[in-house]
Amino acid sequence: MTSYYLTCGGMFVLALAHLSNTPRANPVANAWLGGFFFCTGSAVLAFIAQHTGLDTRYPLLVPLTESIRLAMAPSLYLGVLYFTSARRSWKRLDYLHFLPAVLFLPVLFFGGRHLPHFLGVIVGSSVKLQMLIYWILSFNLLRKHSHSIREVNAEVQRTDLKWLQYMLLGIAVIMLLWYNQVFRMNEQLERFTGIGYLLGVYVIAFFSLRQREIFPYTEPEKSALQEVIEKKTTLPRLAADDIQRLKARLNHLMEKEQLFTNSDLNLPQLAIRMEITVHELSYLLNKGYGQNFYQYINQYRVNRVKELMISEKYRHLSILGIAFEAGFNSKTTFNTTFKKTEGMSPAEYRDLLVRMDTTGR
């Protein structure tokens, strides 16, 4: 049972860390994540109580811990929802996520150990099905986020929430162990359930405590960015002559002032330089160039990398050094973008240039 004790304690420590916003980022999202960890820790505590006799000594312990289990999955989903939203306010419909928990709470609390078997089966099945559904919804939110964030950032390595995807995968492993333990599908695997739970907690802690602020903007900018990300119909449309005029100004900023070499450049910053709103800039990129912000800026950076590769002045730099000089600040983003644009890796491109220079072609 030692691994279960450590798992339970780890979940409660994680809950405290996130409820107190130890990562110092994304406070609302972390509060919901802390709620999820607290509910999970309570579920493990109920299991411990039932297998150590604590439920006999403290009759209300299991009902108290079990009563919030149906709030576990919605808390996880709302945490992911707030992580992936630039700005979001609480809505009345959000209360519906916790309706099952409210409905079952008096049944669990007053039924306690004498809860009818069929009700116990219903509650237990509901928790497992609910967790699976909300996990899928949460993962889908992250998948959408990885695409939508490219509307506002050219460098997504810090904001693509890969750490949260890894954390969800860790939760998925715990869920599989949990299902196997309940339904006894594999007895050999069941022997390692406690250790698996504990390792899952370590994985979750490692990724969740290393997060950064996802949307480090002002409140007005967050509101505007959320509308851009959601592609709401309120997006202002520019007349054809306005598009041409703004394209000329944008081309000047890119080609003459080379704003793309600023590795921290984002949609709001460029909108300020253009003296237009983020809605208008996003519309200009989508309609005027057929690209999002990520594609537009990184195309310039790739072209700049190609220029620097043939420049004698930059021959002393490594490929990654040239990438940073062009505005990239992530090796992953650079390699992915370059290969997608040129059809070969940066190293292969440079080797091609060397061969061409050697043969004189």
Domain coordinates in residue numbering, the chain: 2-151+162-208, 219-359
pTM of the model: 0.88
Q: Hey, do 2-151+162-208 and 219-359 end up sharing a CATH topology, with the first three levels equal?
A: no
> For 26-69, what is each residue's pLDDT tens digit?
999 999 999 999 999 998 998 899 888 887 888 778 777 877 88
SS3 at position 204? helix
Sequence length of the chain is 361
The fold adopted by the segment(s) 219-359 is Arc Repressor Mutant, subunit A (1.10.10)
State yes or no: pLDDT of 184 exceeds 80: no
Residues 179, 183, 188: CA angle, nearest 5 degrees: 85
State yes or no: pLDDT of 298 exceeds 70: yes
Express the helix, strand and coil content of the chain in percent, nearest 5 each: 75, 0, 25
Where is 122: in which H helix or E strand? helix 117-148
Q: What is the DSSP string of 290-303?
A: S--HHHHHHHHHHH
SS3 at position 266? strand
> For 100-154, what is each residue's pLDDT tens digit?
888 887 766 666 556 666 666 676 778 889 999 999 999 999 999 999 999 999 9
Beta partners for residue 266, in sequence order: 153
CATH number of the structural domain 2-151+162-208: 1.20.1070
What pLDDT sits at residue 276?
Answer: 94
What pLDDT sits at residue 238?
Answer: 86
Q: Which residues lie closer than 8 Å to 24 by C-beta, 6 or more apart?
A: none
